[in-house]
Structure 1
């Protein structure tokens, strides 16, 4: 519900909100400009003195007005013609003609009413209401995504569009709420939905005389110019007219013959309230606030673009189920918990395979759990991802509450399959919660179809193995050949290759491809080659397979090429094809962002640990380290003469300060050492770096990464740190295969 509340107002009102935001950003500059151009004001200057000075210069003055930004303007008649001039309060003389900007009027009318009068004002109010709904629902979604209020400003993970959308939101949401609420209050005041305060009535009795000068009037003598709003002079030659004064404290009337105050009314609650609302919305009187709100408003168009990109990606990621049976007729119920849509792809593969085996299958979000409708169901299969800090994904909200509210244990066997990434502490945590509830219910009679299983990083191989287990439980073969949705690929042309390991029967190479042209929008949408960096993934589509293979990039967009480090995998289809490429040959490929494997921002040290071709992204980080951040590399390989990847570059980068230190370990020499041994030998240095706030980045095989984690646990044992704690803080990240 919360996600729908956030999505639909944004999609429907996006253009209107962007228009309001951009016009508001332009208007936000005006108070600051006006304040900067206003002459300096003596804080002791009174309205009486100012009025005397202006009257001496402009005898036909009708009104003196001071804007909240501090500009003083006199309106007068001279020789039967009206005029308006900006006043220097120190002299009472004009310094420039008062000529409101045509552009300012145009933008103001666009912002307030879209040039449509009252209808436009109500439309603009609808846009403000939509922005308020988006802001509040977005805050709740943001809290859910990052795992609680305490994590609101924690490091973001995920595709570029999502991170950019959330980053701008958490920096600007307070301004969005303030602007939208004050806009709605101003509209309510304009249409008398809220009271504006009562102005004092014109005095019933006046002296009927003329001749008193402003300088002799006590009320004007007691009123500082800083609090002035308007001083209106009596109509020339009319003894029944009076001086009218409006200030930030109230308003009243002064007799033009005696100078006495005829009537004064202090500003009431609603008058003060409306003035504060106006100031908070426009920045008039608080130019710095106006500029801040204007800067925040500039984030709205970016959020609109990224929001639409996120929606499109989610919409396209959810496949259409062919032959989805009605819940009451199905023998198999698939319940899906998905945040970005990828879990639906696995559900579609399972749905199709079960239908091919003769089952009637009903697939639905977990939120639609209704055991009362499953009249013919023989099994319920739950496929769910985990969102944020171990919470339910969008399509699974309330599922556990529904289970807990069941009056008795179901009789339909249950299987739970979780999807996640083992790099994260809360790997498949929500699926685990579902399984735990099911185990409690199992003790009360709810049968179990299969033990809970997990899929790491959307692995098609792990999904296929689970499918075989499910087939065994169903007593028939079940082939789950899942092909994830493949982004649009591009042809890459190989321009150079560097051979390694041929003398040791372990062929490997550094392959460099020409970088294809890509549209600017591609990097926002998370596709193509619009923008990439070391650690992002290059997806290669090998001939004869629908599944891509991924290799970590050793380069960034500004390098002007695409580079990966690969070795031949026994029986590997893709690695064999890549190592057979000659310069000029092409492959189909795409880039997948991998924001979770990046150095944190700042100047704190980074410990890079890799083995074999895992050096690829680590070399890329060193190549990109123009700021000379202290990077300490620990690299293990077989032999320095045969597979020391980037050997020459490592020495050059260390000499240039891009690498603070390089420690190598070789497993096929007389010393016979692994990277874990190098870490043991340098334990004191590593512990010191960790105490200084260093981040650890590990790239290579899973066995190597597990060994590294074990060694680091020993190294850090005397300290307060453990690999688990460092991972929880984002200071220990892995890219393993």
Structure 2
């Protein structure tokens, strides 16, 4: 019986277990390397560490310490989020905190075989098979040795059987530990294990004071870096925000004005057990143990091969650092909303650097000419948002320029980026030009523009710039086209024609690929509602992004598209017929999806912003409390997903659906609907509800204002929701 129990799981799962074991063995090296390279911080307090990091990176938002001792800081570089490994002795960056591509690949292979939740279940089954093999193998070795007392006596027999037993006797202990902990982690992934105490409720009252530095906070002085997990800083200038401290023993909040520990949750037995399981399985925090488990894992393919030969024998008779701003001759400042203008800035920086120039590139919000002592020229690459407004990375540039007592000494070149089909083409760049003229800022060359990210326009401007600064270079900007897959449209539903706002719900077939392609990572990636699909329209290499209204489990790809005047991509999409193809790629958006748990979710959107919210409701088979607030123009033309919303409310996937039509018989906007239902909204937020907002920027601003009014005087604020990770936006 024991021999049969040992033989068949091994034969059936041999290849799977070899893949899991070899990838696990390779991964076991990383914790050891990380521990060897992590700078020492033993005996240091969190207060001291935080002060050093904040001095080196003033925009720091969070500091984390890995079990290996590696310390990572998360901050902003211009308007771009960045992360760096930190030297705790100085607080300075030791380099980017990017996970090596090979490590990411191995991790995805080891956890899920690149197959998403289905792959995780397969891996869990593999862990169960490994545990069965380990226990039955141990019993067979013990019986062969003559009992437990003789387990480590010299082995009997010879040949393949003896070698198989010798390897197993040494490795079975590590394999049992690895498989047992893997089963626990799999159970936790699918919600079969309690998550633990977690963060306490956000404090109802804070001092309202700000300005206390970490070095002066007693609660941080008393915590050693050795037991530290993470420290999240309050949002600058937000008097309602707090420090969030997490250690091995618990998690809590610290008042940023008084340094008082406001509330604290001790880690419970489930959380401590999960932490220990993670350490025992991965070796993070116990590098030597990790290496031992890795060596044990290496035995799996050896034992698989020897076991196969024994069975056969029985059957026969079986994959940049720029110049500091203070040292640069050329300062390139970028104002970008979607990020594409940064690509042009990189092309310009590369070309200038090739001529020997010292170049510094940053966001326009970092405008500080008094600090650029060696600057000989300032180049502004400015995109336009909306009706001539500043993009996110240049929000306060004009205010900073106006506040200067004198114009910058270095002359300026202004290049606007936009789409000539819109009435406010390069409107923000023109505002900069007028402000520069009013300030008396000398122009290096006349303001120019780039239409629809044209490489030709950029190259033409580059020749003018080259002549103006007396240096020969060419700007050959080639937008990088991402690797795409073809999707075939299978159905469409059209709305909005009556209000001159054509809108479509487009459903595409999910590509079918062979298992071996999934195994090698060549399949269409798994995705969830709220992730982004990049669509490359015909005749362009510039993608447009749309939020997904479906997940992989739905078996299709669905988006909502409104036709924009002159919009290349939206026009192509809204003209598609079933059977037509489009080129796409996937971009994950993990910050915009419901958190795990049973707390309520408020879904708030307008127009095509209903897409991902409908996807969340569609996948709410467990009937988690979800409440939808949806705004559109007119009920007879813009009631997107009307039939589904009614069905989902009937079967419990949606607890309530509140609609707001701005052109109906009683015009109302979605933010007004929130105010009208303010008491219920406030009650849901007191119960821990998460807020998810999707739609246009103006709508999102109106929703934020309405929620701020609803929460006023109720011990909560928009800032506290964001600090707790309970407020997420997908705004365009």
TM-score, scaled to structure 2: 0.50
Alignment-derived partner of residue 566 in structure 1: 561
2 CA distance for matches of 1:13 and 1:671?
A: 57
Match of 1:362 in 2: 353
SS in 2 for 1:72: helix
**Number of aligned residue pairs:** 474
Match of 1:541 among 531, 536, 540: 536
Q: 1:350 aligns with which of 348, 351, 375?
A: 348
Give the C-alpha shift of residue 543 in structure 1: 2.3
User: Distance between the aligned counterparts of 1:384 and 1:720, measured in 2?
Assistant: 36
Q: Tell me, in whole angstroms, the C-alpha distance in 1 between the residues paired with 2:547 and 2:285.
A: 44
Q: Distance in 2 between matches of 1:74 and 1:590?
A: 56
Deviation at 1:553, TM superposition (A): 1.1
- What does 1:209-288 align with in structure 2 at a 5 Å threshold? none
Are positions 1:624 and 2:619 aligned together?
A: yes
Residue aligning to 1:187: none
Shift of 1:526: 10
The answer as to whether partners of 2:345 and 2:361 remain within 8 angstroms in 1 is: no
Q: 1:589 to 1:674 in 2, by over 3 A?
A: same
Which of 671, 679, 682 is equivalent to 1:684? 679
Residues 475 and 13 of structure 1: is their aligned pair in 2 closer, same or farther, counting only changes over 3 Å? closer
Cα deviation per residue 1:1-24 (whole Å; 9 max; x = unaligned)? Answer: 9587798997899999999999xx
Corresponding residue of 1:502? 497
CA distance in 2, matches of 1:524, 1:720: 50
Contact between 1:603 and 1:629, CA under 8 Å: does it hold in 2? Answer: yes
Q: 1:698 to 1:476 in 2, by over 3 A?
A: same
Which residue number in structure 2 is paired with residue 615 of structure 1?
610
Closer, same or farther: CA 646–455 of 1 in aligned 2, 3 Å: same
Q: Is the 8 A contact 1:332 1:362 kept in 2?
A: no
Match of residue 382 from structure 1: 361
Structure 2 spans left out of the alignment, 5+ residues: 1-83, 86-92, 112-122, 176-225, 235-242, 252-273, 301-318, 386-390, 437-442, 455-477
- The alpha carbon displacement at 1:351 in A equals 3.9
SS at the partner of 1:602? Answer: coil
Matched, 1:635 2:630: yes
Q: Which has the larger radius of gyration?
A: 1
Check conservation: 1:615, 1:699, Cα contact below 8 A: yes
Q: Is 1:476 the counterpart of 2:455 in the alignment?
A: no
Asked if the contact 2:708–2:718 (Cα under 8 Å) also holds between the matched residues in 1, the reply is: yes
1:729 correspondence with 2:699: no
CA distance in 2, matches of 1:624, 1:630: 12
Displacement, 1:661? 0.6
Q: What value does the CA root-mean-square deviation take over the aligned residues?
A: 6.5
Alignment counterpart, residue 104 of structure 1, candidates 149, 161, 168: 168
Query: Within 2, Cα distance between the matches of 1:168 and 1:522?
Result: 35
Structure 1: distance between partners of 2:545 and 2:492: 18
How far residue 335 of structure 1 moved from its aligned partner, in angstroms, is 9.3
Partner of residue 596, structure 2: 601
Using the TM superposition, name which of 523-532 and 652-661 deviates more: 523-532
Aligned residue runs from structure 1 range 512-591, under 5 A: 512-517=507-512, 529-591=524-586
Q: Are 2:492 and 1:488 aligned? A: no
Distance 1:18 1:630, change over 3 A: closer
Task: Determine if contact 2:508/2:558 at 8 Å carries over to the other structure.
Answer: yes
Structure 1 residue runs without a partner (length 5+): 39-64, 77-81, 86-96, 112-138, 155-166, 184-280, 283-289, 299-311, 313-317, 356-360, 365-372, 387-391, 393-399, 422-426
2:283: which partner in 1? 176
1-structure distance, mates of 2:152, 2:364: 68
Tell me, what secondary structure is at the counterpart of 1:101?
A: helix
Match of 2:345, SS state, is: helix
Q: For the structure 1 residues 604 and 445, does the alpha-carbon distance in structure 2 shift closer, same or farther, using more than 3 Å as the test?
A: same
Residue 530 of structure 1 aligns to a residue whose secondary structure is: coil
Structure 2 CA distance for partners of 1:688 and 1:550, relative to 1, 3 Å: same
Which deviates further from its counterpart, 649-658 or 446-455? 446-455
* Alignment partner, residue 245 of structure 2: 150
2-side partners of 1:428 and 1:151: how far apart? Answer: 31
Q: Distance in 2 between matches of 1:170 and 1:470?
A: 57
Q: CA offset at residue 701 of structure 1?
A: 1.3
Does the Cα contact within 8 Å between 1:665 and 1:675 map onto a contact in 2?
Answer: yes
Q: Tell me if the contact between 2:227 and 2:247 (Cα under 8 Å) persists in the aligned partners.
A: no
Q: Quick one: distance in 2 between partners of 1:294 and 1:462?
A: 65
Specify the SS of the correspondent of 1:506.
Answer: coil
C-alpha displacement at 1:695, in angstroms?
Answer: 0.7
Relative to 1, partners in 2 of residues 1:711 and 1:175: Cα closer, same or farther, differing over 3 Å?
Answer: same
In structure 2, what is the Cα distance between the partners aligned to 1:726 and 1:106?
52
Contact 1:650 1:662 in 2 (8 A): yes
Question: What is the rounded CA distance, in whole Å, between the counterparts of 2:691 and 2:417 in structure 1?
Answer: 25
Alignment partners' CA distance in 2, 1:171 and 1:658: 34
Contact in 2 for aligned 1:494/1:585 (Cα 8 Å): yes
TM-superposed CA distance for 1:152, in Å, is: 8.5
Displacement of 1:556: 0.8
Pairwise CA distance, 1:729: 2.3
Per the alignment, do residues 145 and 433 of structure 1 end up closer, same or farther by CA in structure 2, a change over 3 Å counting?
Answer: farther
* Matches of 1:36 and 1:74, distance apart in 2: 9
Q: Does 1:673 align with 2:668?
A: yes
TM-superposition CA deviations, 1:212-231 (whole Å, max 9, x none): xxxxxxxxxxxxxxxxxxxx
Hey, what's the Cα distance between the residues in 1 that align with 2:170 and 2:287? 21
* SS of corresponding position for 2:598: coil
Q: 1: distance between equivalents of 2:364 and 2:520?
A: 22
- For residues 412 and 140 of structure 1, what CA distance do their matches in structure 2 show? 49
